[in-house]
Amino acid sequence: MHIGDRIKFLRTRKGMTQKELAKELHIANSTLSQYESGQRGLSDVVKKNVADYFGVTVDYLMGREDDARVPHESVREILAGPGLRLLLDADNKLTEDQLKEIVEFIEFKRRTEDR
């Protein structure tokens, strides 16, 4: 599986169109299409942006490892912050998927703020 296949897999797993992902990554839809088809290579910056967006490692994208998950703190540690704890206590209607999205967002923000 080449890097384009992995990007397509991650995109479709998230239920996104190429147009939606291209917009999130601030690239042209045609560029993303070329990445996914293997017609165009990705710069290191784009690889990092894609990896950060999906919460995977660049090594996963490049096929060097099969585990798509980024090592991180436990969900309990991530949710220990008082602001998020208040949010969760106030709204018991959040689904498991919504909670996972919150955690993914927090992880994304931590990674992008460290740049």
Domain contains 66 = no
Q: Which residues contact 46 (CB under 8 A, 6 or more apart)?
A: 25, 27, 35
Same domain as 82, residue 38: no
Q: Quick one: residue 63, left, alpha or beta (phi over 0 = left, psi -120 to 50 = alpha)?
A: left
- Of 85 and 42, the structure prediction assigns the larger pLDDT to 42
**Cβ–Cβ < 8 Å for 34, 77:** no
Domain contains 8 = yes
How distant, in Å, are the alpha carbons of 72, 86, 94, 108, 109 from that of 115?
A: 17, 28, 31, 11, 10
Domain of residue 93: give its range: 75-113
pLDDT for 42-82, tens place per residue? 999 999 999 888 888 888 888 887 766 555 444 555 555 55
Same domain as 45, residue 12: yes
pLDDT for 53-63, tens place per residue? 888 888 888 88
Same domain as 23, residue 56: yes
User: Please, how many CA atoms are within 13 Å of residue 83, restricted to the half-sphere of its CB?
Assistant: 2
Q: Number of structural domains, the chain?
A: 2
CATH number at residue 35: 1.10.260.40
